[in-house]
Amino acid sequence: MLFSTRLPVSKKCWMIFSRGCVKKLADEEDISRVKIRFLLEGVGEAEGELVRFLAPRTVDTIVRKLPAEGRAALWKEEVYFEIPVKIGEEKAKPTVETGTIAFWPMGSALCVFFGDSQPYSSVNVLGKITKNLELFRQVKSGLTIKVEQIS
């Protein structure tokens, strides 16, 4: 008999039963969220997470290109830097919250909004900064920023 079913084991883990085999699936939160680190030259490290359901194609494309590095540019209370990703708008938003990580299709740039400013044009919202958001206030134009996935 061919069948497959998924049963909750806990709030975060699932067991899958298929053809008499039992497999534990990875934590669903780990699948949908990607932890990243920003290395801000001479300033420090900040952490964030990308959430796949916010812009799945954009998040997956960016994660495949990590680590990525660029030179910081500033616009109001936003730090952005070009990354080697070309992708159009995906669930794009004209406004964001403080702490948002986004991709700006017009500039092929990763953006971090550390204050109350809004994007120049619509962005694909990707996630949030989870640690040391205040460090982005110290970033100067031209500073090297590296972003990498945290294993």
Q: How far apart are CA 91 and CA 50, in angstroms?
A: 14
pLDDT of residue 88: 97
Looking at residue 106, the DSSP 8-state letter turns out to be G
Share of the chain above pLDDT 90, in %: 79
pLDDT of residue 29: 54
**Stated pTM of the model:** 0.81
pLDDT of residue 127: 98
**In order of start, what are the domains of the chain with their CATH numbers?**
30-149 (2.40.100.20)
Buried (b) or exposed (e) across 16-45, using 16+ Cβ within 10 A? eeeeeeeeeeeeeeeeebbbbbbebeebee
Categorize the per-residue pLDDT at 2 as very low, low, confident or very high, splitting at 50, 70 and 90.
very low
Mean pLDDT of the chain: 87
Categorize the per-residue pLDDT at 31 as very low, low, confident or very high, splitting at 50, 70 and 90.
confident
Q: What are phi and psi of 30, to 5 degrees?
A: -65, -30
Q: How far apart are CA 98 and CA 84, in angstroms?
A: 25
Phi-psi region of 108 (alpha: psi -120 to 50; beta: other; left: phi over 0): left
Share of the chain above pLDDT 70, in %: 80
Predicted confidence (pLDDT) at residue 123 exceeds the cutoff of 50: yes
* Arithmetic mean of pLDDT, 111-128: 97
